[in-house]
Amino acid sequence: MTGAGLSEFCNWLAATPLSHTIQTAGWIIPTLQTIHILSVAVVFSSAILVDLRIWRLLERDVPLGEITRRFLPTIWPVLFILLTTGSLLIVGEPRRSLLNSTFYLKMALLAVAIVLTVALQRSISSSPSFWDGNRMRRIAGRFAASASILVWCGILFAGRWIAYTQAG
């Protein structure tokens, strides 16, 4: 979609009844933002706890498989809540996000985070001690955990930058 087409889409979206309701009811945007931010905290915490266990900085005496079974399943339903609240926030203020390059950075980082999380979850579900195996696997696991931490932190920063970068 071209810049002009995207701008037209934003104008159309902002004129819909749902967008008008979100824009004019003073409680909707703060409520959606609160739910969105709390959900980000849950997803971020779950991912980081697993990453820190891979680094053996937390829960060293608990098997990695148990940590992932405890924390990673939480991510998927909460990502759905993030998708829902984020989509409604976009409907309420489409130009703020859809014309902002920082929003697309956040979405790209989120895609990377999801791929990393799926890969981690699948590798551990098929072999719970996979990342605790030989030295090369531990190094690879630490590299993946470091990448995950950096990507999730990037998502947090990009999410905040959306509010402070010029849209359009």
Q: Where are the domains positioned within the chain?
A: 3-162
The pLDDT value recorded for residue 88 is 97
Q: Can you tell me the mean pLDDT for 103-118?
A: 94
Checking if the pLDDT of 168 tops 80, the result is: no
Compute the distance between CA of residue 149 and CA of residue 146 in angstroms, rounded to an integer.
Answer: 5
Q: What is the pLDDT of residues 36-52, one digit of tens each?
A: 999 999 999 999 999 99
Helix, strand, coil fractions of the chain, as percent rounded to 5:
80, 0, 20
Q: What DSSP state is assigned to residue 107?
A: H
The pLDDT value recorded for residue 107 is 96
Residues of the chain with pLDDT > 70, as a percent, come to: 98
Q: Which two tokens stand for residue 93?
A: 């203020």
The angle subtended at Cα 28 by Cα 24 and Cα 33, nearest 5°, is 130
Residues of the chain with pLDDT > 90, as a percent, come to: 61
Q: What is the pLDDT of residues 81-109, one digit of tens each?
A: 999 999 999 999 999 899 999 999 999 99
151 alpha-carbon distance from chain centroid? 9
Q: Which two tokens stand for residue 91?
A: 């409907």
Q: What is the pLDDT of residues 141-158, one digit of tens each?
A: 899 999 999 999 999 999
Computed over every residue of the chain, the mean pLDDT equals 90
Compute the distance between CA of residue 98 and CA of residue 83 in angstroms, rounded to an integer.
Answer: 15
Residue type, position 55, single letter: W
10 alpha-carbon distance from chain centroid? 23
Compute the distance between CA of residue 160 and CA of residue 81 in angstroms, rounded to an integer.
Answer: 18
